Amino acid sequence: MSGTGRPDEQRLQAPGMTVGIVATHWNAEFVEPMLERAVAAAERAGTQAPTVVHVAGAVELPVVAQELARTHDAVVALGAVVRGSTPHFDYVCQSVTHGLTEVALNSSTPVGNGVLTCDTQEQARERSGLPGSVEDKGREAAEAAIGSALVLRGLRGDGAGVRGHRAG
């Protein structure tokens, strides 16, 4: 894992924004710390208390994210898929990534993809935000979704989010 190019922790200001978070029960030892870090990121940004729901596994994330996208400004999907000895890993990862992308595009609601796709449990541990981890994907996914929602607010004329130069 490189981590190259990863942005620093963002200082977002999103008072009143609504955030929905859907997290899997599978690989809870990695997903629960990511959930805690995503909730903390939303709270730091000043959003309303996030709506948090759980689903069985990664394949269930897109449909619940779709429902959350109907009523929230930003959605965060959290899970961990660890490669096994069958092609199931590839099908799950592709399905989830495609599904979450479709939700975001069809709903015009940002969906932060915090689904770890790792070859080993050690890789998942290193990305989960646990003490000593080198990455914090729960926080990063929440910040990405909230930041994108702020940009959309600005583009839609809601007053916040877009700063700097505009093309024209």
What confidence tier does 16 reach under pLDDT thresholds 50, 70, 90?
very high
For residue 125, what pLDDT is reported? 97
d(Cα 50, Cα 103) in Å, to the nearest integer?
Answer: 19
Q: Please indicate whether residue 88 is annotated as part of the active site.
A: yes
Share of the chain above pLDDT 70, in %: 90
Is 60 known to sit in a ligand binding site? yes
Candidate list 54, 88, 98, 165, residue with the active-site label: 88
Q: Looking up tokens 């839609």, which residue turns up?
A: 156
Average pLDDT on 67-92 reads 96
Is 18 known to sit in a ligand binding site? no
- How many other β-carbons are positioned within 10 Å of the β-carbon of residue 36? 13
Is 39 known to sit in a ligand binding site? no
φ, ψ (nearest 5 deg) of residue 160: -125, 160
Q: Which has the minimum average pLDDT: 3-12, 26-35, 74-83? A: 3-12
Q: Give the tens place of pLDDT for each residue, 40-75.
A: 999 999 999 999 999 999 999 999 999 999 999 999
Is 85 known to sit in a ligand binding site? yes
What confidence tier does 9 reach under pLDDT thresholds 50, 70, 90?
confident
Q: Do residues 119 and 109 make contact, with C-beta atoms less than 8 angstroms apart? A: no
Q: Is the model's pLDDT at 148 over the cut of 80? A: yes
